[in-house]
Structure 1
Amino acid sequence: MVEHLTHPEGFRLLLTPNHSLSWRGNVRIWLGLLTVSAVIAAGMAVAGAWVIIPFAGLELAALAAGFYLTSRACQRREVLTVNDADIHLEKGRTRKLAEWTLPRRYARLRLSAPPHPFTPPKLELIHRDISVTLGTFLNIEDTETLVQLLEARGLAIERREPDPEIGLWF
């Protein structure tokens, strides 16, 4: 998701992955599945198939791990600030983990077309030997929106076609 934030000196964007549920919603779904699984496992155990209980527990543990990892991945954030002098990019989850400041005059964006039609294009912020990927978690529409917003602000975008590959799809 691309969200425009107010900034007194320029232009600021908040980039986040799309996520449909909050952590609380994920826990509620998991508790509902736990309840259904516990009722079924208890019924099978009463019927004599007690070996179902450890497998139900393993299934619920794997499901909880999947919910946790997915929810954690959806907390990623990128803040892109563009002003007259420089481009500032911050990446992190709950706090800033990395940041880059590049001079706007010499920095450029490289938009690499995807090799497959269902994947979004790759967007990189480049200055000399520094190359930072931007919005790797964005979908196709959000990536197009980001490119349009950055083009409207006057950033130079270098477009590249994918390298021809011999493979299953192409």
Structure 2
Amino acid sequence: MVEQLSHPDGIRLLLTPNHSLSWRGNVRIWLALLTVSAVIATGMALAGAWVIIPFAGLELLALATGFYLTSRACQRREVLTIDDQDIHLAKGRTRKQAEWTLPRRYARLRLNLPEHPFTPPKLELIHRDTRVALGDFLNIDDTDALVQVLETRGLVVERKAPDPEIGLWF
């Protein structure tokens, strides 16, 4: 998701992954599945198939782990600030974990076009030996919106086609 924030000297963009449910919503879904699984496992155990209980527990543990890891990955944030002199990028989850400041005049934005039409293009900010991935979690529409906003702000976007495959198909 690309969201424009107010900034006095230029433009500030907040980039976040799309996520449909909050943490509380994920917990509610997990509790509903826990209830259904507990009812089924109890019925099976009463019918004599008690071995189902550990497997139901392992299944719910794996599901909880998947919910946790997905929710944690959806908390990533990137704040891109562009003013007259610099491009400032900060990345993190709940707090700033990494940041880069590149001179606007010499920095380039490269759009690596995908090999397949369903894959989103990848953006990179480049200055000399520094390459920073920008919004690698964005979908196709959000990436296009971000490129459009950056082009209207005067950044030159290099579009790089995928390298042709060289070799034999077996």
TM-score, with structure 1 as normaliser:
0.97
- Structure-2 residue corresponding to 1:87: 87
Alignment deviations for residues 73-96 of structure 1 (CA, whole Å, 9 cap, x no partner): 000000000000000000000000
Report whether the alignment pairs 1:75 with 2:80.
Answer: no
**Runs of 4+ deviating beyond 3 Å:** none
State the alpha-carbon separation in 1 of the partners of residues 61 and 82 from structure 2.
44
Report whether the alignment pairs 1:29 with 2:20.
Answer: no
SS at match of 1:136: coil
2:125 maps to a residue whose letter is: L
State the alpha-carbon separation in 2 of the partners of residues 94 and 159 from structure 1.
32
1:76 maps to a residue whose letter is: R
State the alpha-carbon separation in 1 of the partners of residues 55 and 135 from structure 2.
39
- Structure-1 residue corresponding to 2:43: 43
- Structure-2 residue corresponding to 1:155: 155
SS at match of 1:99: strand
2:7 maps to a residue whose letter is: H
Q: 1:101 to 1:58 in 2, by over 3 A?
A: same
Unpaired segments ≥5 residues, structure 2: none
State the alpha-carbon separation in 1 of the partners of residues 166 and 143 from structure 2.
26
- Structure-2 residue corresponding to 1:128: 128
C-alpha RMSD of the superposition: 0.9
- Structure-2 residue corresponding to 1:58: 58
Alignment deviations for residues 45-84 of structure 1 (CA, whole Å, 9 cap, x no partner): 0000000000000000000000000000000000000000
Provide the aligned length of Structure 1 versus Structure 2: 167
- Structure-1 residue corresponding to 2:100: 100
> How far does residue 165 in structure 1 lie from its aligned partner after superposition?
2.2
State the alpha-carbon separation in 2 of the partners of residues 156 and 40 from structure 1.
59
- Structure-2 residue corresponding to 1:11: 11
State the alpha-carbon separation in 1 of the partners of residues 34 and 165 from structure 2.
46
TM-score, with structure 2 as normaliser:
0.97
State the alpha-carbon separation in 1 of the partners of residues 164 and 25 from structure 2.
43
> How far does residue 104 in structure 1 lie from its aligned partner after superposition?
0.2
State the alpha-carbon separation in 2 of the partners of residues 26 and 129 from structure 1.
41
> How far does residue 164 in structure 1 lie from its aligned partner after superposition?
1.2
